[in-house]
Structures are given as C-alpha cells and as structure tokens.
Amino acid sequence: MDSSAWGMLMQGAWTTAWISATSIAIGVVLGLLVALVRLARIPVVHQVLGLYISIARATPLVTLVLFIFLTAPTMGIHLNRNVAGILALTLNTTAFNAEIWRSAFNNFSKEQREAAMAIGMTPWIYFRRIMLPQITITSLPGLVNEMSFLIKGSPAIAVIGIVDLTRVTNRISAVTYDPLPPILAAAVIYMGIISLLVWLQRIAERKANRLAV
C-alpha cells in the first residue's frame, strides 16, 4: 500500500477510536446510573429499564444504528451520522454495562455496609469511599471486555455512511483490487486499540492491589 492508503487507514482508525471512546465513556456512566436505579426497584421505572436492557442486548448493533438514523427524522429529530452512530453504540453498551455493574453491586459484601453504618458513616460517604471503588475494580474486567466487544462491533456505523476503519478498508480494497494488505493492516490496528485497553486495565488493577495492601 502507498502512503495515501496508510493516511486513509489512519483517518478511519481515528474515526473508529473517537466515536468508540465517546460511546464507551458515556455508556459506562449511564450503565452505572441505570444499575443504581434498577437496584432501587422503583415501580414502573424498574420494569421500563429492564425492558430497555432486554431489547438493547437482543438487537443486532447494525439494526440499532439503522433504526436510530432512519427513524429519528420521522419524529422531527435530525441527527448527523456521527451523532446517530454514537447514540446507537451508547444505547447498546449502556445496557450491557448496566448488567455488569448490577451484578457487582449484588455480590458486594453486606457486612461492610453494616460496619460503616455502625461507626456513623452516612450512606453517601459509604457509597463514595468504600463501595464504589471496590465495585469499580471488581467490574473492571467485565467492563473492559464489553469495551472490546463494542470496538469490534463499531463497523456497524459504516452502514449509515460513517467512514470508519472498516469502511476505509473496503474502499482501498475496491481501488487496489488487492484486499489482503488493507485487511491485515486494519486487523493490526483493531488489535492495537484493544490491546491498549487491556494494558490500561492491568495498570489499574495493579495500582488498586497496591493500595489495598
């Protein structure tokens, strides 16, 4: 491949990276909030969120992308391609993250809460200083795994015209009639992005383990 092809691949990789990173950042926070609301078991809200999670987890990502991009204008909401792609990825990953957070909360030791309350700690301080840090470390492998799945599923945004890494790969292949080099290059780039996530996860876990000693 020539330099222009590599430039196109880098631009596609950047598009994939920033759209995925934005969706991941929002999805992790929203997933935590959805998990907390579900654990509160507020009537109706609990059932609605449960239905959303079931639908989002069962719907293919490409279908969700198309649904949002094509349906929004019929309701008077005009989204550009990037916003529609981020919204679809966020709705998808939020549903999975919510279940990861909820599982961690359900498995958290109740004895720690009882001990915190016994020494006069308020529920908010207990949640912020004791529960949330431990829950975050416990959830980290599952969250990173979900991030990896989202990045690997992100080519779904190409169906609405977003020029991501996979779409660029297809364009280069169509021009050069030699699909192997761009496909291999794209595979290496995807592996690099996901390897970076795993590396950051390991650093976070090591730091957490040192603080716990």
Mean pLDDT of all residues in 67-82: 90
| pLDDT band with cut points at 50, 70 and 90 for residue 147 | very high
Asked if 13 and 189 touch (Cβ cutoff 8 Å), the reply is yes
End-to-end CA distance of the chain: 51
Q: Report d(CA 32, CA 127) in Å as an integer.
A: 13
What is the reported pLDDT for 4? Answer: 85
Dmax of the chain from CA atoms?
71
Q: For residue 69, what are the contacts with CB-CB under 8 A and spacing of at least 6?
A: 79, 81, 84, 85, 88, 160
| pLDDT band with cut points at 50, 70 and 90 for residue 66 | very high
Percent of the chain predicted with pLDDT > 90? 65
Please state which architecture CATH assigns to domain 16-162: Orthogonal Bundle (1.10)
Q: Report d(CA 16, CA 154) in Å as an integer.
A: 7
Q: What's the token pair of residue 140?
A: 């980290």
Nearest to 139 by CA among 68, 73, 201: 201
Distance of CA 109 to the CA centre of its chain: 27
Asked if 159 and 179 touch (Cβ cutoff 8 Å), the reply is no
- 44 phi-psi bin (left φ>0, alpha ψ -120 to 50, beta other): left
Q: What's the token pair of residue 97?
A: 């993250």
Instruction: Give yes or no for residue 213 having a pLDDT over 60.
Output: no
Q: What is the mean pLDDT of the chain?
A: 90
Mean pLDDT of all residues in 164-170: 93
Amino acid, res. 93? T
Q: Report d(CA 99, CA 82) in Å as an integer.
A: 26
* pLDDT (tens digit per residue) in 15-64: 999 999 999 999 999 999 999 999 988 999 999 999 999 999 999 999 99
Instruction: Give yes or no for residue 70 having a pLDDT over 60.
Output: yes
Q: Report d(CA 154, CA 62) in Å as an integer.
A: 9
Q: What's the token pair of residue 26?
A: 């929002």
Of 93 and 121, the one with more pLDDT: 93
What is the reported pLDDT for 211? Answer: 57
Mean pLDDT of all residues in 150-156: 94
Instruction: Give yes or no for residue 180 having a pLDDT over 60.
Output: yes
